[in-house]
Amino acid sequence: MYDVTKLQAYIDKYEGRYLRQLFGVTMYNSFMSDIDQQTNAPKSPNFQYIFNPFSEDVTLYSMLDSDGILEMLKGFIFFEYSKDLLNQMTPFGNVRQRAENSTAILALQSQMYNRYNEAVRTFRAIRDYIYLNFDIATGQAVGINVTNQGTTYNGGNNFTPTPLSGLVLTLSVTTPGTGYISNNGVATSGGSGTGLTIDYLDDGAGGVLSATIANPGTGYKEGDVVTIVDGNDDATITINTATQIITGTGLKINYVALPIGEILITTPLTPGTGYVDATSVPTTGGSGSGCVVNIFTSGGSITNYSLVDGGTQYAVGDTLTITGGNADATFIVANVTNGEITLVLINGDNYGTGYNVGDLFGIIGDGDDAGQFELDYVGIGDFTEYNGVQKALTYWL
């Protein structure tokens, strides 16, 4: 029914205009910056909610009913497009088109006003939801980047990660002090955090020459000066860098880990005798179970094979025998998975609030406790930025 090129021109012209009217310029810019280029939908929970259809009871005899932003825009753009089709500019002036085999309806009977009013109702529902939720929080954990996979993890759901907040990363000796003799695991005092211990070397004259981190502690800030509790308690060190302080709460995650002892790489095969081509052939031996292979043969010897299932609980150096034939074809395990974390996801809608990009977390209580991830995107959508306009229904429909 529509000229696609012309319709796209209307979308380009009016989409941004109506969204700016809905949000105001500042909030519109935030909304557009939050759009995922793959899904064409917002990433932040606040914007996701008003982007999608929703219905809410507000007070007695009052509710919010939104068809979602996409349907709202369709209604407005349909209106703009349709009203311009009622007449066209020609070399003879502005003319009203006439249908050859039909009778034109009155403007008030046109669907374009119904579509416009439906769009306005959604516009108002979104606006009123924003009014009623000016204090809604931002800083939800949205984007996660695994920074340390760790080992021997089993995976978990509805897991509360440990904030690695204010861990000391680098430090330097500020005052060498007196009475110090090289020592390890030495406590410190002062600064914003707790738990920092160090190993240090003396300078041969009772002062501290250099120090390294034994335990990074928590809660420290860059620029903190702490005292080395040893010697005459007068040597100090300065915290040069530390992980940022985490202010958010409420995040829960699901995480996935590779199996422990799944075979990845093997050494070249001892070809054996009496074999024929076969698929999904079991193996025996080694410290694990479940390894299955496909085999390719020539003259009864295996010339090549491929892993179908690497099994679990195998160890590097295990020797496995391929069943069948004369049971004399073997290979040695060269590399296995070891429970490395491969994926961390938000558990349901447990995004939490108040987080910042760069917040670092540990997955503690499973595996070797070395698994870590950081936030590389947090929710935006501050409703206090709202500065939209009022929009009335057209006519009396």
Give the N- to C-terminal CA distance of the chain in Å, as an integer: 25
Tell me the mean pLDDT in the region 251-271. 95
Q: What is the pLDDT of residue 146?
A: 98
pLDDT, residue 113, reads 84
pLDDT at residue 86 in the model:
64
pLDDT one-digit tens code per residue, 33-51: 999 999 999 999 999 999 9
For a pLDDT cut of 70, what percent of the chain falls above it? 92
Residues 6+ apart with CB under 8 A from 163: 246, 359, 360, 361
Q: Quick one: pLDDT band at residue 394, thresholds 50, 70, 90?
A: confident
pLDDT value at residue 2 = 54
* Mean pLDDT of the residues in the chain: 92
What's the pLDDT band for 59 if we cut at 50, 70, 90?
Answer: confident
CA distance 228 to 177: 9
* Strand pairing category for 360-362 and 162-163: antiparallel
Q: State residue 397's pLDDT score.
A: 42
Give 355's pLDDT tier (boundaries 50, 70, 90).
very high
Residue 234 has a pLDDT of 97
pLDDT at 1 over 70: no
In this prediction, residues 232-238 reach a mean pLDDT of 97
Report the pLDDT value the prediction gives residue 100, as an integer from 0 to 100. Answer: 55
| Residue at token pair 């981190």 | 213
What is the model's pLDDT at position 83? 79
pLDDT for residue 81: 87
Q: Which of 293, 317, 322 is nearest to 305 (CA)?
A: 293
Could you give the residue ranges of the DSSP H alpha helices within 147-296? Answer: none
The count of residues in the chain is 397
Give residues with Cβ within 8 angstroms of 8, minimum separation 6.
none
pTM of structure? 0.82
Spatial separation of the C-alpha atoms in residues 338 and 155, rounded to whole Å: 12
Task: Give the pLDDT mean for 247-261.
Answer: 97
pLDDT for 206 beyond 70:
yes
